[in-house]
């Protein structure tokens, strides 16, 4: 009966891990050469040194762009809880400039407990954005704009991108624009006036290799020794798991597990 209770507790622990993308990919954030470390350094400099940054995260779908960004943002929000404001836009939903500015104004009003006007015009929302960038800059608060499907914002007149990047030229603003796109040529879609204001920083993400997937599986499945589970049970469980990882007769089982791991990454849009 005790063994069954331990097994149930272990299952609950593993399920909670699978539902927490931040835990899943924390194992990949230790290397100083990782995209996590590079992205965190860039965004940290925006917060601590009051400098403006723009950056593109490029790579095929399922390669880790959103997961790494969310991991970095969560860490920075814990380190600097009152110094960061995150505004999120998606090109599939907000590729119309008027709609995008209205959504930015709405999120800024929610973040700073202001009254949002649905009837505000494009010019009103544009001026409000500039004013909020100035006020947040004076208060040493960084606004991070996350633009999913960045290439869709690069269509049409690109007024949103121009307005954001142009406002960041002011010494009173303190902001970062992070574009996410599966198009490797996303920066080439920018107009000349927009490209001249963009920093041309890019981080390239590749699909996870077999080695990385194996590390993720071990990170997810190995039981911690400092949990509520008995040490004997956790040790026995981990030993059997390590043996199965290196057992050639279980090749197809772990091949399927790796496939399911990749499916999980893509279905959750965390990689």
Last residue of a domain, one of 204, 226, 258: 204
Q: Is the same domain home to 98 and 145? A: yes
Please state the rounded mean pLDDT for residues 69-78.
Answer: 90
Q: Is the same domain home to 60 and 176? A: yes
Domain containing residue 186: CATH number:
3.40.50.300
Which domain covers residue 251, as residue numbers?
2-23+209-267
Assign 269 a pLDDT band (cuts: 50, 70, 90): very low
What gap in Å lies between CA 30 and CA 206, rounded to an integer? 18
Q: Is the same domain home to 183 and 213? A: no
What pLDDT digit, counting tens, does each position of 6-23 carry?
788 888 888 887 777 667
Total domains in the chain come to: 2
202 or 200, which is more confident: 202
Q: Taking 50 as the threshold, does the pLDDT of residue 77 lie above it?
A: yes
Q: Is the same domain home to 121 and 253? A: no
Last residue of a domain, one of 174, 204, 234: 204
Q: Is the same domain home to 72 and 110? A: yes
Q: Is the CB of residue 129 less than 8 Å from the CB of residue 116?
A: no
Q: Is the same domain home to 55 and 105? A: yes
């Amino acid at each position: 009966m005790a063994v069954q209770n331990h097994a149930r507790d272990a299952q609950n622990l593993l399920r909670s891990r699978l539902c927490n993308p931040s835990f899943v990919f924390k194992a990949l954030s230790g290397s100083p050469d990782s995209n996590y470390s590079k992205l965190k350094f860039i965004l940290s400099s925006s917060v601590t040194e009051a400098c403006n940054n723009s950056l593109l995260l490029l790579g095929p779908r399922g390669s880790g762009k959103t997961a790494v960004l969310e991991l970095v943002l969560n860490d920075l929000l814990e380190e600097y809880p009152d110094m960061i404001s995150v505004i999120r836009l998606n090109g599939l939903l907000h590729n119309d400039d008027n709609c995008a500015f209205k959504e930015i104004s709405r999120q800024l009003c929610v973040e700073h407990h202001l009254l949002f006007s649905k009837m505000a015009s494009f010019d009103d929302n544009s001026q409000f954005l500039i004013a909020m960038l100035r006020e947040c800059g004076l208060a040493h608060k960084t606004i991070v704009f996350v633009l999913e499907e960045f290439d869709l914002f690069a269509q049409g007149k690109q007024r949103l991108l121009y307005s954001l990047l142009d406002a960041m030229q002011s010494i009173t603003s303190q902001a970062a624009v992070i574009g996410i796109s599966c198009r490797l040529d996303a920066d080439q879609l920018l107009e000349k006036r927009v490209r001249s204001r963009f920093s041309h920083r890019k981080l390239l993400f590749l699909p996870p290799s077999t080695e990385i997937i194996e590390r993720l599986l071990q990170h997810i499945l190995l039981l911690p020794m400092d949990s509520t589970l008995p040490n004997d049970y956790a040790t026995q469980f981990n030993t059997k798991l390590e043996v199965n990882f290196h057992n050639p007769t279980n090749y197809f089982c772990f091949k399927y597990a790796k496939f399911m791991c990749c499916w999980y990454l893509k279905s959750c849009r965390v990689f």
